[in-house]
Amino acid sequence: MVLPNFLIFGVQKAGTTSIYDYLKQHPQVFMSPRKETDFFCRDLSIPISADEPRQTRGGRQRILTIEDYESLFARVGDEVAIGEASPNYLFTHERSVPGIQKYVPDAKLIAILRNPVERAYSDYLMHVRQVVGNRSPLAEQVKESGESSHTLLKGRYCEGIKHFIEVFGREQVKIFLYDELRRDSAGLMRQIYEFIGVDPSFDADTGRKQQTAQVPKNQSINQLLQTNNPLRSLAGSILRKVMPEERRQQLRSRLIAANSTGKEGLPLSAEDRQLLEDYYRDDVRQLQDLIGYDLSGWFDLKV
């Protein structure tokens, strides 16, 4: 049974898709062909029930059993490092850590952390674009659902990072900052290559950003393109008769892109930013002490 010997366990909206792509380029690295398997997000001690959803919201088959998970690594050859990237493992640490302990206890563990205010803002823009999750304004989420909004809670890193360190030890857990990825992506990748035990001199093509924040120009059009609705179903049934699936997806992607603009279309106000900084300040202070990094570049921690 071949399973990973390293995991990227955090966090969403912190460049993990780009890092996944850079790792795939290395000849000594095998990455799961599926990013975000989320296998360890489920409590693996609980048997799979008959009514357990078999597909994700996006229609992908869920990885529910160890056999499903193992199949992702069936094509491993002579690669030195075998990995996968599921940045939700940090958020679901109470469930994911026991599963990691059971199946890949010696795996090297990597987290990329981003200024939680910027991370929450990016996550919020994604929800607006995809018409999913809590799309209430971020300030409203802080005031009304700060202890239940996943968009906000995923930026409170300290408890999860502490749990991983306590269980696996500091030698097995490596923390990087998104700021490093933006400033010197090649240098960051060399550090990751060294940590997972492959040739650090390999130069990945780090010139491409895999994801950029965008928001819809017209939300009504976006809703038609992104959600299940009668008009989209009708168009789909017609196009299926004359166009293969790949072409249909390309057409949909082009339509979504034509209706998109940069994040400046939905800017984060100074007032909302201040509210978010206040929300995260104590957690960032504790995180700074835990990992020994100076995080004052994220925002003022002395207020």
3-class secondary-structure state, position 270 = helix
Poorest-confidence range of 22-26, 58-62, 229-233, 264-268?
229-233
For residue 39, the model assigns a pLDDT of 97
What integer is the mean pLDDT of 192-203? Answer: 98
Residue 176 contacts residue 191 (beta carbons within 8 Å): yes
Alpha carbons 134 and 124: distance in angstroms, whole number = 8
Please tell me the predicted confidence (pLDDT) of residue 34.
93
Query: Which has the higher per-residue pLDDT, 236 or 35?
Result: 35
Average pLDDT (203-209) is 82
Is the model's pLDDT at 98 over the cut of 70? yes
Query: What is the pTM (predicted TM-score) of this model?
Result: 0.82
Q: Is 150 exposed, middle or buried (0-12, 13-18, 19+ CB in 10 A)?
A: middle
Angle between helices 116-130 and 138-145 (to 10 degrees): 110
Residues 279-292, mean pLDDT to the nearest whole number = 97
Q: Which of 16-25, 65-74, 137-146 is predicted least confidently?
A: 137-146
Of the chain, the percentage scoring pLDDT greater than 90 comes to 65
| Average pLDDT, integer, range 281-303 | 95
Pick the residue with more confidence: 111 or 50? 111
On average, the pLDDT of the chain sits at: 86
Please give the pLDDT value at position 230.
Answer: 59
Give the span between the Cα atoms of 4 and 216, in whole angstroms: 38
pLDDT at 9 over 60: yes
So what's the pLDDT on residue 55? 80
Rounded distance between C-alpha atoms, residue 124 and residue 43, angstroms: 27
Q: What is the structure's pLDDT at 131?
A: 47
pLDDT value at 222 more than 50: no
CB 84: neighbour CB atoms within 10 A?
30
The vertex-114 CA angle with 111 and 119, nearest 5°, equals 120
Q: Which is more confidently placed, 230 or 30? A: 30
Could you give the CA distance from residue 223 to residue 220 in angstroms, rounded to a whole number? 5
Report how far apart, in Å, the C-alpha atoms of 100 and of each of 4, 109, 164 are: 10, 10, 10
Which range, of 191-195, 272-276, 282-286, averages the lowest pLDDT? Answer: 272-276
The pLDDT, as a whole number, for residue 88 is 97
Residues 6 or more apart whose CB falls under 8 angstroms from that of 83 comprise 4, 5, 6, 7, 8, 23, 29, 30, 31, 32, 196
Measured between alpha carbons, how far is 107 from 174 in angstroms, rounded to an integer?
11
Distance CA 79, CA 63 (A): 23
Distance CA 8, CA 23 (A): 11
Flag whether pLDDT at 163 surpasses 60.
Answer: yes
One-letter amino acid of 90: L
Query: Cα-flanking dihedrals φ and ψ of residue 194, to 5°?
Result: -65, -40
Residue 132: predicted pLDDT: 46
Residue position matching structure tokens 């690594």: 73
